[in-house]
Structure 1
């Protein structure tokens, strides 16, 4: 729509906003459209060849000849009044359409469209869950990972001065049934160890799926307070690895909150 609006504005500028000057272009567009459609039907009848296809091809061929004659007359008479633009633009459009068709044909051939593919062979699945802290978000993502099947591993990056050793100790005490691998890293490249870990796994022939946790909230002002590191990690993995990267949302607004304890009644009173 934007391109059409720009083209329309350009035509109005060229013609000085005098719409009568656009009538020859309109007439040429009409007759060119009729000619192309009639020639297309002739080609269709020739390729399909149904009953009485010759009669139908002659009918459409006659219509194409008449409209082509009218197109040629308009081109000659109105060439200096804007018809030259049609002579320039139409071949360029035809070349563009031919290139688009060639691209779609090449893309269909590359993916084997129209051919029966071989039966899929199950690979060695590996689900990777990046972990920064032990929380309900971690349990939520691990539960999703365990439903996918295959091996599940949690990874964290050990940077000097962080709580990675404490996380490893808490993980052993929690014992979720999923191993935690600690990757050495630096403050300047905190996400790079996870990317390299996934690259090594895919290079070994593993079908890797990475589940990246993401905290969500309905309040726009609170969204600004959520770190953008999960989105950056997901973008890096999609760009630099062949792994399937999925974002697992955790809605903070609907998360279960512990209820406040009910106060005990004073001694000597009864409860209703």
Structure 2
């Protein structure tokens, strides 16, 4: 039944040979890997205006030069990540670049930041999209958390079905959003050019503004740079592209950068000419659409696609998180389970971990994750800064053809990213200080895991580990609760093993019952030694484990191995297990960690 439900939800298993069919073409890759970056157009320009409004509407013209600065940073990031794609085609993005060129710890800082950031991406995006839906239908507002969790589960299941299947479903809303904004920007600019927008709505560019400061402008620039989150996702997900993967990934990155630049600049320009003031109850995009089209079908089409893109921005996390986790797991800094592919050839453990962590975050913050946006943004700009710096070191060290121009691009990107990161810490410290706690903790955990894997590898290496002692024979201990077919089956199996001594062990709670059992055993299995252990406190684990330790100590002197053979009957129906005392599981859990004791379970399948 469980298997049938699994097939219904995620589909039939795919053969390993079908892996090539799960690769993405540029059209689908652009949709699922750019949704996070493109969705930020819905709130990036608004973040700039929110800072400038503290001076007054007269300062809104500064949004134009600030947007130009954001576009320059976007250009530097796109060109840099294009170089990263060709230099590190195995994927991993900022993690691989930083680890290779700056050292292990900077790499782990970049990798850890991005892993956490992708969890925040899912939680923040889904919560934002849910807010957009419940704003349209106020009766659903009390169910924000439940609706957000349903969306996360839906996206998780969709991604477990495979990369191509999720891309086929999610591509349409992304391209509808792009189409909607292109129409909005086109019609809006036409209205501006033809004079349909009154010039008194905006302050002329260059108007002197009292009270403006460099600090405030840098704060607005840092806030507007939140629109660049998700730019790095394509460099992490190169293995998901069809061959030639680096070439296709680079082209997709350039196209994403172009679309983001057009949409971002278009919204900023329209917000300036329309004299839009940020409001708590209505977004900047909604105000522009309302002034351009009125409350017509086109307005609701724009709002609907915006809500969809905010939810689907979470899918960037589902695409990039598992592949980044694979790179870190291959270096033995997180559990190896993240390198395993599931039935549908996706890295299902990474997908499920991302979904679970996101749901936990949504529940913890009761769906109000807007306060996490600065944390989410700074979590991206730290890897931005490290990756750009890493590429600088790479060019200086290797000096390939044309390295000077590449170095200048990365130097500009590193400097601007560092400034943005510092501005987040200076202006929003109360919201981003957790970064200073969780990143060191994550790096410490990474090192603990790596140390464990290295110690295990060294211990298992044939050339370095201690020579295994020869095993002369076996002492097989069989715990018995009564005289049954299950016990008979276990005793017969134990006796069939060569060079073995069989000892049946019975734990009794009553002296009279103990004597009766010994007499019955003598008649039933006279050739098998029975040891009865009396328990004063009705606990069978303590006397049994003590007896096993005693036998193991004596057996080790003669190079004998102790095996505890635990009989266990298997009911015909799974739910029948709830009706039985699971003593065998309890015994196994207690004995499993005995160093020189083998614990083996012998199943006995019941017919009814």
Equivalent of 1:127 in 469, 476, 481: 476
CA distance in 1, matches of 2:563, 2:416: 62
TM-score when scaled to structure 2?
A: 0.34
Aligned length: 241
Question: Which of the pair is proportionally richer in helix?
Answer: 2
Structure showing greater relative contact order (alpha-carbon pairs closer than 8 Å, 6 or more residues apart)? 2
Deviations 1:181-209 (A, max 9, x none): 22333363344322210121233335322
Give the conservation status (yes or no) of the 8 Å contact 1:237–1:245: yes
Counterparts of 1:47-62 in structure 2, within 5 Å, are 54-55=398-399
SS of 1:138's equivalent in the other structure is helix
CA deviation after TM superposition for structure 1 residue 128, in Å: 0.8
CA distance in 1, matches of 2:377, 2:579: 60
1:235 and 2:589 are equivalent in the alignment? yes
2:517 is equivalent to residue 195 of structure 1: no
Shift of 1:129: 0.3
Q: Report the alpha carbon displacement of residue 137 of structure 1 after superposing the two structures with TM.
A: 0.6
Q: What's the counterpart of residue 68 of structure 1?
A: 414
Q: Comparing both structures, which one devotes a greater share of its residues to strand?
A: 1
Q: 1:109 to 1:203 in 2, by over 3 A?
A: farther
C-alpha deviation, 1:14, in angstroms: 6.0
What residue ranges of structure 2 are gaps of 5+ in the alignment? 1-354
User: Match for residue 143 of structure 1?
Assistant: 492
Query: 1:109 Cα deviation (Å)?
Result: 4.9
Q: How far off is 1:113 after superposition?
A: 4.8
Deviation of 1:252 (Å): 1.4
Are 2:505 and 1:160 aligned? no
> 8 Å contact 2:475–2:502 — kept in the other structure?
yes
Match of residue 602 from structure 2? 248
Q: Alignment partner for residue 370 of structure 2, among 15, 28, 34?
A: 15
Q: Which is greater in Rg?
A: 1
TM-score normalised to structure 1 length: 0.67
| Counterpart residue number, 1:258 | none
* Matched-pair contact (CA < 8 Å) for 2:476–2:503: yes
Deviations 1:28-56 (A, max 9, x none): 4444333333455677x69xxxxx96126
* Matched position secondary structure for 1:157: strand
Task: Label 1:84 to 1:182 Cα distance change in 2 as closer, same or farther (>3 A).
Answer: closer
Work out whether residues 156 and 181 of structure 1, in 8 Å CA contact, stay in contact via their aligned partners in 2: yes
Q: CA RMSD in A?
A: 4.0
- Give the secondary-structure state (helix, strand or coil) at the position aligned to 1:210: strand
